[in-house]
Amino acid sequence: MNGTGKTFYITTPIYYPSDKLHIGHSYCTVATDVMARYKRLQGFDVMFLTGTDEHGQKIELKAQDAGVTPKQYVDQVVAGIKDLWKLLNISNDRFIRTTDDYHEESVQKIFKALYDKGYIYKGSYKGKYCTPCESFWTESQLVDGKCPDCGREVIDAEEEAYFFKLSAFQDKLVKYYEEHPDFMEPQSRLNEMVNNFIKPGLEDLCVSRTSFTWGVPVTFDPKHVVYVWVDALSNYITALGYGNDKYHDFEKYWPADVHFVGKEIMRFHTIIWPAMLMALDLPLPKKVYGHGWLLLEGGKMSKSKGNVVDPVVLVQRYGVDAIRYFLLREFPFGSDGLFSNEALIARINADLANDLGNLVSRSVAMVKTFGFTLPTQRREVPEQDDELIQMVKGLQQRYEEQMERYAFQNALMEIFKVVSRTNKYIDETAPWTLAKNPEEHSRLATVLYNLLECVRVVGILLKPFMPSTAERIFEQIGASQELTTYESAGTWGLLPADVTVHKGEVLFPRIDLAKELAELEAAKASKEPKEPVKAEKKAAPQVEGVASMISIDEFAKVELRVAQVKACEHVKRAKKLLCLQLDDGTEAGRQVVSGIHPWYEPEDLVGKKVVVVANLNPAKLCGVESNGMILAADAGENDVKVLFVDESVPCGSKVR
Ligand code: MSP
């Protein structure tokens, strides 16, 4: 089984066939693609699986509305999903549809095997059902009587049904989590699963339905169809040939190295799926990574709210690599993040047009203009260049450390630190001045050579993120295939001295922010409903007195700044704490830990502007570093309100 050879099996969730997958859906697929490409670059035999989850009542109803059969409906929508993945340059090795015959056959065998082993039994189901999520809920799991996942109405459901003995796996799961502390990531998800689902007690799960027919029939009782999540989760093994003859690589790739999933479907992947596998005596996936959501200012993107961002439009306007880069650079993978057109354009301009684009075009242009043969004695390294060269030499290792943790944002930051340093090197060495003095021509050649080498290494490590940009870079600096392998990124000085550069098109043209935003807004305004007006905030109680007076000079010592919450997540083992990533107008931003979880969830904060005490000594709260604090008011007995700032105030503005 997987683990003996250099194989790597990675999956995305299989998507519901929706006619409009939005940028949030693309996020997970792009991240999976980056990981798959990275592992291939390292020489792994990779299996990257994605697909579509096509059964269930919701699809049956949609097809009815459209006046077509469910199969006709899904066929047409799935074609669109495949096109989107092509557009985003997704390199999946396999695409599974849950309506594929081989998959259905395997699901039937899995269901029967669980029944034969006594893990599935017949009973009667009474409870609540959320049709859009295809989820059964007990009364106690509902939030305000609604679906705890999507907040929509649930319906009463009662029918004869088969049940999976999930309760029998409670202790085994807890033991498994304890023995495999890396099974779930980020670690905060483990707390969520244990506290919200395991501790209250696992109940047996209803795994068949009789009220509709669009599903996989139970072989030994065909009026029942298999519950969509049992059907869907099985895809990760049926696509390798488990229970069918279509494929034959189950032994080779299973257990999966990692399932990438959105945080709301963690419980299916870390409770139900492992229990099913345990019942089948199969090994569990090595890791389930629950990434965060892309949010818009109005909350999570969803078609029903009408606030989705269309990836096709973005790719058409900015190019696929810019979108791939932005998605993984802007947000820490495990946390929620706020999507905005402004952030996207700012990121493209700053990182891709200015930093990377400029570096490549300046380097190539100078080699062309100054027309020098690059130095033949490449090995002698003037001290002045040493810092840059050492930084580039260590880049691959720093990058790898981050990639292995799925910290895509950090990996990209490491690359771009080198890009910035190299741009600075151009300014320091001023090749155009060296060019004027014939005695400096050998030095000039060395400088230009160093630039091309930096670009080469950067290009290699960018390959998984921006595959076509990397190729364009190699073409411009004249690097042949063997100098763009992963191994070659670890060695300095491989580019031959007589390399021929080619001036190509600008990699990323600068975007006029104001003009572009106006165009995007205009396009959006014509399509979308207005944002609902937010409820008025409760007025703060009267201030009765103050502790003691201070002078204006004393007050001036406190540096207060406006900052925007870019991402936010729970702090492990600390119920009250939230960890916020703030844009405080500085390049690096800052991380602040705040004890406001009793009153706020991450999604209440992401996108909001707050006031941060910027010159507070750093502190560690429950092991997490906090650089400052955000201001909040005691708004009544046991009530706290964060002080939000009008969104027009720029990040970094001083508050006084
Ligand atoms: N069909 C199930 C998965 C079954 S896996 C055996 C499903 N499908 S989905 O189409 O609703 O979602 C697919 C993935 O997209 C999920 O991981 C979900 O978290 C992700 N996203 C949907 N909206 C998202 C954002 N706004 N942001 C990030 N990811 C989000 O769930």
Secondary structure string (H, E, C) spanning 442-470: HHHHHHHHHHHHHHHHHHHHHCCCCHHHH
Q: Which of 338-342, 363-367, 632-636 has the lowest mean pLDDT?
A: 632-636
Closest CA to 355 of 425, 443, 408: 425
**Contact (CB, 8 A) for 541 and 635:** yes
Please state the atom number of ligand 1 nearest to the C-alpha of residue 264. 19
- The alpha carbon of 28 and the centre of ligand 1 are apart by a number of angstroms equal to 8
Q: What type of residue sits at position 377? A: Q
With cut-offs at 50, 70 and 90, classify the pLDDT of residue 375: low
Range 208-212 average pLDDT? 89
Domain C-terminal end among 471, 490, 509: 490
Query: What does the alpha-carbon distance between residue 428 and residue 417 come to, in Å, rounded to a whole number?
Result: 16
What's the pLDDT at 21?
87
Calculate how far, in angstroms, residue 131's C-alpha sits from the geometric centre of ligand 1: 16
CA distance 608 to 582: 10
Pocket of ligand 1 from Cβ distances under 6 Å: 13-16, 24-25, 27-28, 53, 232-233, 235, 261-262, 264-265, 293-294, 300-301
d(CA 420, CA 413): 10
- Going by alpha carbons, the residue nearest to atom 24 of ligand 1 is 24
Radius of gyration (C-alpha) of the chain in whole angstroms: 28
Angle between the N-to-C axes of helices 320-330 and 408-429, in degrees from 0 to 180, rounded to the nearest 10: 110
Residue 329 DSSP label: H
Answer with the one of 464, 490, 516 that is the final residue of a domain: 490
Instruction: Report residue 526's pLDDT band, with 50, 70 and 90 as the boundaries.
Output: low
Q: How confident is the model at residue 405 (pLDDT cuts 50, 70, 90)?
A: very high
Are 344 and 469 contained in the same domain? yes
Q: What is the DSSP string of 464-496?
A: TT-HHHHHHHHHHHT--GGGGSTGGGGSSS-S-
**Helices first, then strands: H and E counts in the chain:** 23, 26
Q: Is residue 575 part of a domain?
A: yes
What pLDDT shows up at residue 522?
Answer: 75
Asked which of 490, 507, 522 is the last residue of a domain, the reply is 490
Q: Is the pLDDT of residue 538 over 60?
A: no
pLDDT of 524 higher than 70: no
Alpha helices in 319-357 (DSSP H): 320-330, 341-347
C-alpha pair distances (Å), 106 with each of 23, 59, 217, 379: 32, 21, 12, 60
Look at ligand 1, atom 25, and give the residue with the nearest C-alpha.
Answer: 24
Q: Are 572 and 189 in contact (CB under 8 A)?
A: no
Distance CA 632, CA 279 (A): 49
pLDDT value at 545 more than 60? no
Per-residue pLDDT tens over the stretch 489-511: 999 999 988 889 999 999 999 99
pLDDT tier, 539 (very low <50, low <70, confident <90, very high otherwise): very low
Measured CA to CA in angstroms, residue 334 lies from 522, 548, 602 at distances of: 33, 43, 12
pLDDT at 636: 73
CATH number for 620 = 2.40.50.140
**Domain assignment present for 373:** yes
Asked whether residue 448 is domain-assigned, the answer is yes
Q: Which atom of ligand 1 is nearest to the CA of 28?
A: 29
Query: Ligand 1 center to residue 301 CA distance, Å?
Result: 11
Shortest-distance Cα residue to atom 12 of ligand 1: 15
CA-nearest residue, atom 7 of ligand 1: 15
pLDDT at 372: 59
**What is the arithmetic mean of pLDDT over 460-479?**
98
Question: For position 307, what pLDDT does the model report?
Answer: 67
Give the integer Cα–Cα distance in Å for 68 and 415.
50
> Is 153 within 8 Å of 146 (Cβ atoms)?
yes
- State the maximum Cα–Cα separation within the chain, in Å, rounded to a whole number: 91
Instruction: Please give the number of the atom of ligand 1 that sits closest to the Cα of 294.
Output: 27
What residues pair up with 570 in beta bridges, in sequence order? Answer: 578
The alpha carbon of 202 and the centre of ligand 1 are apart by a number of angstroms equal to: 24
Report pLDDT for 1: 56
233 inside domain? no
pLDDT in tens, 586-637: 888 899 988 888 888 898 899 999 999 998 877 777 677 888 999 998 887 6
Does the pTM exceed 0.85? Answer: no
Contacts of 251 (CB under 8 A, 6+ apart): 1
534: in domain: no
Asked whether residue 612 falls in the same domain as residue 486, the answer is no
- Considering the domain boundaries, does residue 319 fall inside one? no
**What was the pLDDT predicted at 562?**
94
pLDDT at 544 (0 to 100)? 34
Q: Look-up: residue for tokens 């009793």?
A: 598
Pairwise CA distance, residues 617 & 627, whole Å: 7
Per-residue model confidence (pLDDT) at position 306: 66
Asked if pLDDT for residue 251 goes beyond 90, the answer is yes
Averaged over 228-245, what is the pLDDT?
Answer: 98
CA distance 494 to 142: 61
Among the ranges given (167-176, 326-335, 349-358, 369-378), the one the predictor scored with the smallest mean pLDDT? 369-378
Among residues 578, 577, 581, the alpha carbon closest in space to that of 564 is found at: 581
Mean pLDDT over each residue of the chain, to the nearest integer: 89
33 or 632, which is more confident? 33
Closest by CA to 96, choosing from 152, 48, 63, 144, is: 48
* Domain range enclosing 376: 340-490
Res 337: pLDDT: 93
- Predicted confidence at residue 351, as pLDDT, reads 98
**Among 259, 214, 263, 209, which Cα is nearest to 236's?**
259
Report if residue 434 sits inside a domain. yes
* Residues 6 or more apart whose Cβ sits within 8 Å of residue 496: none
Nearest atom, ligand 1, residue 21 CA? 10
How many domains, in total, are found in the chain? 2
For ligand 1, atom 26: residue with the closest CA: 24
Q: Considering the domain boundaries, does residue 278 fall inside one? A: no
Please state, for a pLDDT cut of 90, what percent of the chain lies above it. 69
> What is the reported pLDDT for 377?
54
Decide if 562 contacts 655 (C-beta within 8 A). Answer: yes
CATH number at residue 384: 1.10.730.10
Calculate how far, in angstroms, residue 315's C-alpha sits from the geometric centre of ligand 1: 20
Indicate which residue's Cα is closest to atom 17 of ligand 1: 262
Q: Is 550's pLDDT higher than 90?
A: no
What's the rounded Cα separation, in Å, for the pair 613 and 628? 5
Q: Among the atoms of ligand 1, which is closest to the Cα of residue 53?
A: 1
Residue 156 has pLDDT above 60, yes or no: yes
Residues 445 and 565 in one domain: no
Ligand 1 centroid – CA 13 distance (Å) = 7
What pairing do the DSSP bridges indicate for beta strands 619-621 and 644-645?
unpaired
pLDDT at residue 4, rounded to an integer: 47
Q: Is residue 373 over pLDDT 80?
A: no
Listed range (233-237, 450-454, 646-650) with the worst mean pLDDT: 646-650
pLDDT score for 541:
29
Q: Is there a single domain that holds both residue 486 and residue 344?
A: yes
- What is the DSSP pairing of strand 619-621 with strand 574-583? unpaired
Which atom of ligand 1 lies closest to the CA of 18?
Answer: 10
Of the ranges 71-85, 160-174, 231-245, 532-546, which one carries the lowest mean pLDDT score? 532-546
**Which residue's alpha carbon is nearest to atom 9 within ligand 1?**
15
